[in-house]
Structure 1
Amino acid sequence: MEFLVDNQASTKRFKHFYASDLRGIGQLVTQAAISTTRIAEGVHQSVWRTMGVPGGSTPDRTRGLTGFVYKNIYKITELLGNGIDKVLENKQPWLESFDEGKKETLERISVLSALNGVMGDRLVEQDNQFAIPMSIYYQQEPLSLDDLHAGQIPQATSKVLLMIHGLCMNDRLWQGEHDGVEVDHGLQLSASLGYTPVYLRYNTGLHTSQNGRQLSDLLEQLVKNWPTPIEELSIVAHSMGGLVARSAVYYGQEQAMTWPDTLKNLVFLGTPHHGAPLERIGNKLGIILSKTPYTAPFNLLSNLRSSGITDLRYGNVIDQDWQGVDRFHNKPDGRIGVPLPQGIECFAIAATTATQRSVLAERLIGDGLVPLNSALGYHSVDEHHLMFAEPSQKIFYEMNHNQLLSDPQVTQQLELWLANNVKSEDTK
């Protein structure tokens, strides 16, 4: 009996694992081994340096016999890793045959989403299969935007609502619970206001502007190929998703695309328009680690942070915000001001775990990740200050960052804003 229980538990664990994952796992193991060796060599050289022994080709590399040993470790690791990768690449179609009929589990996509958030840029650089491609989902199935038809979306309406998740998250997390009751802002707005909700899934480890450009291209396809002419597109974006949405609108308008003309409403939920303190703390920690020879090698761990994460230091939106600079350096806010798009109704929801507003809540604590001032677009520099109208702002108290995804109060506020905007459009 005990064997059967253990066997069932093992089977349950493996349902989240695909046979075709072996190649991606192999690549990650190889990179982890190389990174660990680099840290070890860095510590080794730090010790030598205190004894007056010079370094190798770079200050963190060893030389002589020690350097020779480390070089061979790197070569052997890469040789073995590349060899295994080549074998698995040839076997990939065979491995994929074992995965046929497997349904994607929430646990699996949650792990992959977290992995992409932390190192998604590296996954793309290494052509790792775990890199999440940007896709738009309807009823938990990806849409083929090149071949959209009524069969794919039998209940397609002329009003489309796009839901965009935040860092390390995914489209499934919009389906949550509050006090034991299932909550999905998209489905509720579909029932009350007639929207067809679709959900974005993307690699949150890429630069915000890279995702913004991709999203703009996808929305152009969506609007062009939607089964019925789209009269209204609305976007509800959580956290980083709001920066991606702003970036998409910026590039869509810059390139004179047609989809921004259909965008009527843009709602931000806890979006760090001016960055998040946690990333700034992470940046300062990396700088502190790099100050002493013994801790400097461990700064490699700090520098594993993805491009998406470092974009959250100040709230980067466009390419110029990050191009040409070392994203790990401690530099002042050098963003180019990107105002809220004209002709589009923009709304901001902020949350705080506090019971009332305070300087601490506004500038630091906020919802646990994003301060109130950042979520509401407040900034002391006019170029960066986002002009949300007073009726278009809402603060929820005793609520944290992730609760914005599934709290009925948020749903009600969305209904109020979007319903009123529909009425105002009808009276024009």
Structure 2
Amino acid sequence: MPSASKLRGASRLAIDATTGITDLVEAMHAQIGRVPLSGLVYGSVRGVTRLVGGGLDLSLAALAPLLDRAESTRSDALVAALNGLLGDYLEASANPLATAMGLHPLVAGASGPPLVLLHGLCMNEAQWRRDGADFPGALAALGYRPLGLRYNSGRAIWRNGAELAALLEELPGPITLLGHSMGGLVARSAIAQAGRGRWPRRLARLVTLGTPHLGAPLERGGQQLQQLLAVSPYSRPLAALAARRSAGIRDLRHASLLEADADRASRIPLPAGVACYAVAATTAGKPTGSPARWLGDGLVPVASALGQHREAARRLAFTDTALFTGLGHLALQTDAAVLQRLQGWLRS
């Protein structure tokens, strides 16, 4: 995405945010003071904000030839984070910051069967290489062609799944999908929505790293916060701000994979005839007791990452699983022992 487009998108996002905060402050004044304030004051703030926004957009467009030379990995990471937090809004408002889905080669000159790497929330495909680790390079050495899926992680999971299902029709088989965190849910959603597509018959393996197959407790906490804020008339306006979490984040609450499953857990088994593997991590050094009670990786519980539900009908029958101790959620993309296990599963 050109830098000029990123900056124009950022300016529009800032304008929308300022206008939204104005609405928020006006609502809080009405609740706390119970004295109607002049609508002219708030209307003026909104009007000036939009006027300034229009000027920024025109100025940045004029600077486009210079700004287009200023691409950076850091700005791409920032855009990915914004998409995770507000991606559904960016898309709905046609903001240039909204990330378009696409497959990107991760290892120059690599050939062989495609290995699609799906990043997690607020991330992008470049972050499979960081902290000295190079998962794409190591997997390319096994004879794969690593392709990074770039997508707007703030969209509803089912929307990304549907678009990915259509995109994978263009790939020759056999296909391997490797998803970290939300990426594993997007992969499963794509499989469930493939319909009569040909690529699911060419799907050889599905591997997930720290994927919340049974939901993520932290998103449930966000829902509870929103409900608590709505109790008091003084904090009620803030509930709207808490509700601004993207559709993608809200889908993590129950691991909702289909449009019909909004705000509830999807009951979708793993694909038949496909080798499916799951990796979980726990920050604890030596977990004790049953897996259902183990601490997770800081974001995803062990039981959720391994699909171990107390109801037999909701358990996921993985071909093989692995649990790594003393690791956090993001370390699943950089840890040498995790990479070694992936190489063992994908070597054949």
Alpha-carbon separation, structure 1, partners of 2:7 and 2:178 = 36
Please tell me whether the aligned partners of residues 33 and 77 of structure 1 are also in contact (alpha carbons under 8 angstroms): no
Structure 2 residue runs without a partner (length 5+): none
Are 1:115 and 2:43 matched, yes or no?
A: no
- Give the equivalent residue in structure 2 for 1:174: 128
Alpha-carbon separation, structure 2, partners of 1:278 and 1:342 = 31
One-letter amino acid of the structure 2 residue matched with residue 284 of structure 1: Q
| Per-residue deviation, residues 136-175 of structure 1 (Å, max 9, x unmatched) | 11138xxxxxxxxxxxx74422x11111110001111111
Are 1:156 and 2:106 matched, yes or no?
A: no
Structure 1 residue runs without a partner (length 5+): 1-16, 54-61, 141-152, 224-229, 328-333, 423-428
One-letter amino acid of the structure 2 residue matched with residue 290 of structure 1: A
One-letter amino acid of the structure 1 residue matched with residue 161 of structure 2: G
Offset of residue 243 of structure 1: 0.3
Please tell me whether the aligned partners of residues 272 and 375 of structure 1 are also in contact (alpha carbons under 8 angstroms): yes
SS of 2:204 mapped into structure 1: strand
SS of 1:367 mapped into structure 2: coil
Please tell me whether the aligned partners of residues 41 and 70 of structure 1 are also in contact (alpha carbons under 8 angstroms): no
Alpha-carbon separation, structure 2, partners of 1:176 and 1:84 = 38
Offset of residue 135 of structure 1: 1.3
Are 1:264 and 2:204 matched, yes or no?
A: yes
Offset of residue 101 of structure 1: 4.1
SS of 2:224 mapped into structure 1: helix
- Give the equivalent residue in structure 2 for 1:68: 39
| Per-residue deviation, residues 60-93 of structure 1 (Å, max 9, x unmatched) | xx5xxx25335623651465266437745xx73x
- Give the equivalent residue in structure 1 for 2:295: 365
Are 1:354 and 2:284 matched, yes or no?
A: yes
Cα distance change, pair 277–197 in 1 and its aligned pair in 2 (3 A): same
Aligned-pair RMSD on alpha carbons?
2.4
Offset of residue 416 of structure 1: 1.1
Cα distance change, pair 189–87 in 1 and its aligned pair in 2 (3 A): closer
Structural mapping, 1:292-331, within 5 Å: 292-322=232-262
SS of 1:234 mapped into structure 2: strand
SS of 2:193 mapped into structure 1: helix
SS of 1:265 mapped into structure 2: strand
Offset of residue 19 of structure 1: 4.0
> Which among 383, 389, 400 is matched to residue 328 of structure 2?
400
Q: With the length of structure 2 as denominator, give the TM-score of the two structures.
A: 0.92
Are 1:84 and 2:55 matched, yes or no?
A: yes
> Which among 120, 135, 138 is matched to residue 185 of structure 1?
135
| Per-residue deviation, residues 178-214 of structure 1 (Å, max 9, x unmatched) | xxxx3222211211x2111111111100001101011
Alpha-carbon separation, structure 2, partners of 1:271 and 1:43 = 39
SS of 1:98 mapped into structure 2: helix
Cα distance change, pair 356–257 in 1 and its aligned pair in 2 (3 A): same
| Per-residue deviation, residues 293-348 of structure 1 (Å, max 9, x unmatched) | 111111222112101111111111111111xxxx6xxxxxx334111111111100
One-letter amino acid of the structure 2 residue matched with residue 196 of structure 1: R
Alpha-carbon separation, structure 1, partners of 2:69 and 2:162 = 33
Of structures 1 and 2, the larger Rg is shown by: 1
Alpha-carbon separation, structure 1, partners of 2:117 and 2:230 = 40
- Give the equivalent residue in structure 2 for 1:283: 223
SS of 2:323 mapped into structure 1: strand
| Per-residue deviation, residues 254-284 of structure 1 (Å, max 9, x unmatched) | 2x11111111000000000111111111111
One-letter amino acid of the structure 2 residue matched with residue 126 of structure 1: S
Structural mapping, 1:232-251, within 5 Å: 232-251=174-193
Alpha-carbon separation, structure 2, partners of 1:22 and 1:161 = 33
SS of 1:395 mapped into structure 2: strand
One-letter amino acid of the structure 2 residue matched with residue 258 of structure 1: R
Cα distance change, pair 67–344 in 1 and its aligned pair in 2 (3 A): farther
Cα distance change, pair 359–203 in 1 and its aligned pair in 2 (3 A): farther
Alpha-carbon separation, structure 1, partners of 2:211 and 2:125 = 17
Offset of residue 361 of structure 1: 7.0
Alignment identity in percent?
37
Structural mapping, 1:10-159, within 5 Å: 18-49=3-34, 66=37, 68-69=39-40, 72-73=43-44, 76-77=47-48, 79-80=50-51, 83-84=54-55, 87=58, 92=61, 94-102=62-70, 104-139=71-106, 154-157=109-112, 159=113
Alpha-carbon separation, structure 2, partners of 1:387 and 1:70 = 60
Are 1:203 and 2:152 matched, yes or no?
A: yes
| Per-residue deviation, residues 118-138 of structure 1 (Å, max 9, x unmatched) | 001111111111111111111
